[in-house]
Structure 1
């Protein structure tokens, strides 16, 4: 299975009194780089989040964000009724002492420390639910990566077909090209014979022999295409291996272009380089 490094996944879970939502965004990167963004109340989970990401992913720049929200803020507040009664009694007694009786202001009592408190979430349950939901989110991310990877694989296969076609075009043109080169060689030899120069004749022969010998480059191109297809079929973490093969394919295309003595082979070499570059761009996103 081929996986893309570019993907996004989001999951959420509603629990009693609060809700959780994970968002994971990943883009291509040479290595695995995980950046957790967690609320302060679950900051202790950072190492566990990194470890789960390392187990699920091999490459990519990954942003992992957890959002924690209490569903009903009012319901989460707890009133210390005993403290309220004490403060009310003390307030009335103070009023009597200063001979300034009056009603107790409820808002003043609410401002007193300890009167209102927020119901604490169960930390153990919260951590357990958060990690469980993270596992679901990573699964969703992997599914997305797999779907994207399948599309990338098809695009690469199309380019490989194009390379195979160009290699076939050059192979079929070689007999005609070699005949044309032989004719040029005969004409040059005739010029040499008119003004004998053995060194020049030897140089011409060596140069034209090199120009005519592209069979090795064509064979290597075909071999690399076969290897790319094999790796695509194998799947897994193949991005770096494919990137290396793109360099090898590009090297053979450059050599073919440098040896070209015909417009048809030059055009084929240019098309090969275009196809290889298109594949290389796609492969940058493969894990």
Structure 2
């Protein structure tokens, strides 16, 4: 049995290797379709493609943001590099100036001169970069797995809420079925009283009342709408155990509301109209919750 999943969640994973450390955060909010946004370090062009493919393999809907932060791990030896040749030339010039009366240079002054201290250049080894990028992509997948688990946790909380709304809809449909059976009698009695008031001595009044009342009852027959509502209830319960179900539930909410509107328009009694209006209110509440379902 598939578990229902929400669309709001968060996942994080960390990684290290090849002289780098990195962290990945993946978060998502509600969205009609799947939209993946990626932010990552420069120079890892393939990482965005891998991240989006991993998200598409795991998620069906929602606005997903994946962020990767990475930095090199600097060792004490590599942190400072002195260019001895450049320093020697500066010392030669400084000594010559000192012989002419200039102030001898200090150590910190020499180290501040351009070119004396050099930052270590990164060796861009394509093979090492590919290995590093693959390791980062694995961490992205771990963060997305955590995000998916978080969204499934939201689905666990949503399921009983949706089930309760569906139960209330089913109860209202059952009430409407009972009221619909009494609607035919109410229409006939109402029409009979009206005809008797307008034309009490008209010949064939009984037959006329019967025919007209039957025609009105046919127009007001809501059995077809109630049958469709019952079918929609069964479909909704099945969707709750067949994730991802968000898009199908969205469509089903439209069908629910269409039948409820028709039920209200055909109603010939205050009681049935009241049931129809309450039914519409519960369907709208269910629709709002369905917006959270993947």
Query: Shorter-chain TM-score category?
Result: 0.7 to 0.9
Contact 2:90/2:110 (8 A) holds in 1? no
Whole-angstrom distance in 2 between the partners of 1:214 and 1:105: 97
Whole-angstrom distance in 2 between the partners of 1:181 and 1:191: 15
Q: Deviations over 1:9-47 (max 9, x none)?
A: 222235586531211121222222111111224344222
Structure 2 residue aligned with 1:10: 12
Question: Of 265, 280, 283, which residue of structure 1 is paired with 2:287?
Answer: 280
Contact 1:4/1:146 (8 A) holds in 2? yes
Structure 1 residue matching 2:241: 3-state secondary structure = helix
Whole-angstrom distance in 2 between the partners of 1:48 and 1:262: 61
Contact 1:239/1:286 (8 A) holds in 2? yes
| 1:157 and 2:159 are equivalent in the alignment | no
| 1:140 and 2:142 are equivalent in the alignment | no
| 1:227 and 2:235 are equivalent in the alignment | yes
Structure 2 residue aligned with 1:49: 51
Whole-angstrom distance in 1 between the partners of 2:176 and 2:259: 13
Give the count of matched residue pairs. Answer: 284
Contact 2:187/2:216 (8 A) holds in 1? no
Root-mean-square deviation (CA, aligned residues, Å) is 2.9
Question: Of 210, 222, 230, which residue of structure 2 is paired with 1:214?
Answer: 222
Change (3 A) 1:132 1:194: same
Structure 2 residue matching 1:151: 3-state secondary structure = helix
Q: Bigger shift: 42-51 or 25-34?
A: 42-51
| 1:193 and 2:195 are equivalent in the alignment | no
Change (3 A) 1:76 1:192: farther
Change (3 A) 1:51 1:222: same
Aligned ranges 1:68-217 → 2 under 5 Å: 68-70=70-72, 77-83=79-85, 85-96=87-98, 98-100=100-102, 102-113=104-115, 115-118=117-120, 120=122, 123-194=129-200, 205-211=214-220, 213-217=221-225
Whole-angstrom distance in 1 between the partners of 2:212 and 2:120: 91
Change (3 A) 1:79 1:279: same
Whole-angstrom distance in 1 between the partners of 2:109 and 2:281: 74
Is there any run of 5+ residues in structure 2 with no aligned partner, and where? none
TM-score normalized by the length of structure 1:
0.85
Q: Deviations over 1:180-231 (max 9, x none)?
A: 2221122123235337599x977665334322x1111111100001011112
Change (3 A) 1:209 1:193: farther
Is there any run of 5+ residues in structure 1 with no aligned partner, and where? none
Q: Bigger shift: 183-192 or 22-31?
A: 183-192
Whole-angstrom distance in 1 between the partners of 2:248 and 2:201: 55
Structure 2 residue matching 1:234: 3-state secondary structure = coil
